[in-house]
Structure 1
């Protein structure tokens, strides 16, 4: 029924559940997951900046990590434009069968905009749209706490000489902590709601 599932993401907490739902549906039907992040432009959006573009890349990379863990095919795309227009255009151009979106984005003005984006996509899309609302509270809000949990996770899995190689960053209610251990680089994923961790990415030639 579904061959291509689109998950628009802005990297905010509100997309956490939509990612989970989207991957569950994709796994059920063996569908390819398309992760799309739109850097807004225009009078009410945020003009494209290096920081905004990098945040968008991290957002789609977060989805890609989850799809790899689920052994699903994934396509990641970052574009600039009017969010609902870009989402609808992407769906038309890539034979998308289903769109899965969060109804709550970042705080302040962006939160209002994200809600408006979802509403417009629901009204205008030619394919089914599943909307998912964030209900979980974020518990891990401090980067240092995420770093400590990441170190603990790596040590629990048998890694030694665990050191930091970058600053933790949070996207989609998850912390991504770059570490190095046993002479290899890795990224540890810490769930900001549950505090649970796992090795999300490691070098291919790693020999534990």
Structure 2
């Protein structure tokens, strides 16, 4: 049923729980797991206060750390393909999903983005509204 599963992570606790679900599903179905971290590009920075390149590098390091955690948890029985991307998170996840033939996206109900909505994180909500790929949303309790 699932050959390629994608977990979208931002390094948050909810994303960590979602990664656990994605790894369990990958093991159950013998699926390849894709882990994606997106550096948000819609956030503006005042160059006089914060160097945008420093922020981007720090976010890239955060992303690599989050992806390494998924890869480590998957060893040795789950093949994990990881990618750090830059852009609007839901657009990048949808683009990646289409290009890689993803069968299911797994993600936390809310992440740590500054753009939040009341019930779901904005990225999760946007993916659900796009209706282009099945999405499994893991709540804060991880159930």
Pick the TM interval, shorter chain.
0.7 to 0.9
The one of the two structures with greater contact order (alpha-carbon pairs below 8 A, sep at least 6) is 2
Whichever structure has more helix as a proportion of its residues is 2
User: Is 1:100 aligned with 2:106?
Assistant: yes
User: What are the equivalent positions in structure 2 for 1:4-19 lying under 5 Å apart?
Assistant: 4-19=4-19
**What pairs with 1:49-128 in structure 2 (closer than 5 Å)?**
49-69=56-76, 71-106=77-112, 110=114, 112=116, 115-128=121-134
- String of CA shifts for 1:140-175, please: whole Å, max 9, x gaps: xxxxxxxxxxxxxxxxxxxxxxxxxxxxxxxxxxxx
Q: Distance in 2 between matches of 1:127 and 1:44?
A: 30
For structure 1, the 5+ residue unaligned runs are 137-208
Structural RMSD (CA): 2.0
Normalised to the residue count of structure 1, the TM-score between the two structures is 0.59
TM-score normalised according to structure 2 size: 0.84
Tell me the CA shift for residue 125 of structure 1.
Answer: 3.7
Aligned residues: 132
Unaligned runs of 5+ in 2: 46-51
Instruction: Say which one has the larger Rg.
Output: 1
CA–CA distance in 1 between the matches of 2:135 and 2:14? Answer: 16
Detail structure 1 runs of 4+ shifted over 4 Å in the superposition: none
